[in-house]
Amino acid sequence: MTKGTTGATGTTGTTGAGTERPPHEAAVAGDRAAVLEALAGSRLFVLVARLHADTPGFTPPLLVQPDPATPGRMCVTVLTSGALPPWHPDWVFEAIGLDELGRRWPPGARWLTVDPGTPYAVTLDAGPGKRRAWAKAQARSGGPRTGRLLTLGTGPLHGPAAHGLAVGAHLAVHNGLVWNALGAAYEGYATDRSRLRNPWGVHDRATYRKTLESLLAARLVGRTYESVLRIRQGLAGRLGRTPTAPEWSAALTDALARHRSGPEEAADAHEALRLAVTYEDRFRADGVLGAGERVDTLTAFDHGRAVNLVRLALGARLCDPEEAEQAVLRIGARARQAYGSWAEFSLGYSLARVMHVDADDPSGATYAQSLAQHRLLTRDPRSPYRNLAWS
């Protein structure tokens, strides 16, 4: 793994794809091509009145304003995620790429300013020829990279809030977002709202709170999966060791018979056992689960997704920062009750993820992703799992 700094305001990151060069460093070095490459691979945001953002079919024009560093110079301003101002109920931030900036460029503006008023500010000439290069840079980059561990230097790094946010680190890494922020935007106002609608079916505060409570209670991870793991946990308590797969299967068959389960329910339960055995064996072969060790609960999956839900709701203005922080604290507390360490939590999340998508992922890509994310979070010295005490 190589370590680097990305974004414009002290966001540190770890990635397997090489070290990125921040825009301001490339600008200081006079490397215009590197500036464009860095911006094309960064998450950029523009300020929008929430009233305009909520108006169907309306795309507000980009705001043109004076450059605070150069009087008389008119600029369009974009911000990186680390430079966003505090959350406000009536002002939101939409994600935008260099290509879209070029398409929507307003008359009367000749300059693009990134993070003005910060030590990392960058100003680019935005003449017609320059803007054509923006689209090419965006196409080459493919947009912001995912699979990265990103930490916001101004976000919570210690204490209960940081612990609760770290519960959602798997999804933050998966999406290439900072793990330790409760701020003005998550992925962007429109995207945050869309991700709440699909897959969560969240359209308003009431459905958000109902879904959050379901995730806090771990009601969405799968009753069958949890009950099958509990049968093994109970058997392990009686045997004083982790049962073998045949012992577990026999105990499951007995439990299903006692409860007079139907054929379909029994088939689902034995399939859950098969998936758990298969993936735990793979984790052992890859050195992240020891011989005789096991995963007793998959609640980490719901708790991790709950943090993501809270951050989406905050970005979509379905809750405020105080409510979001209280929710994150509750999630962290629930996770601590279910697991004894970050490593146990991470394995619970990883196992749940691969079990849920097994039938839809014959390529094995999800397993490889989950294994890489677990290793990154439990081994990288910058990870919150290495720097925050579990209890």
Q: CA-to-CA distance for 170 and 350, rounded, in angstroms?
A: 9
In order of 13, 122, 216, the CA distances from 220 in angstroms are 31, 45, 9
Q: CA-to-CA distance for 142 and 259, rounded, in angstroms?
A: 53
Q: CA-to-CA distance for 80 and 293, rounded, in angstroms?
A: 43
pLDDT, position 30: 54
Q: State the greatest distance between any 2 C-alpha atoms of the chain, in Å, as a whole number.
A: 81
Q: CA-to-CA distance for 206 and 268, rounded, in angstroms?
A: 33
Q: For strand 70-80 and strand 44-49, is the pairing parallel, antiparallel, or unpaired?
A: antiparallel
HSE-up (13 A, CA, CB side) for residue 372 = 18
Q: CA-to-CA distance for 112 and 54, rounded, in angstroms?
A: 26
In order of 33, 234, 263, 363, the CA distances from 274 in angstroms are 52, 18, 16, 18
**For 259-318, what is each residue's pLDDT tens digit?**
999 999 999 999 999 999 999 999 999 999 999 899 999 999 999 999 999 999 999 999
Q: CA-to-CA distance for 154 and 176, rounded, in angstroms?
A: 18
Tokens representing 102 are 């070029």
Q: CA-to-CA distance for 249 and 312, rounded, in angstroms?
A: 40
3-state secondary structure of 234: helix
**For 79-135, what is each residue's pLDDT tens digit?**
998 899 999 999 999 999 999 999 999 988 999 999 998 888 899 999 988 999 999
pLDDT, position 213: 98
**Closest C-alpha to 144, from 183, 98, 111:** 98
**Closest C-alpha to 118, from 3, 11, 4:** 11
pLDDT, position 5: 34
**Closest C-alpha to 93, from 107, 104, 83, 108:** 83
Q: CA-to-CA distance for 186 and 163, rounded, in angstroms?
A: 18
Q: CA-to-CA distance for 93 and 7, rounded, in angstroms?
A: 16
**pTM reported for the whole predicted model:** 0.91
Q: CA-to-CA distance for 333 and 240, rounded, in angstroms?
A: 28
pLDDT, position 7: 39
Counting as low any pLDDT under 70, the low residues of the chain are: 1-31, 359-360, 362-364
pLDDT, position 305: 98
pLDDT, position 24: 60
pLDDT, position 4: 32
pLDDT, position 3: 31
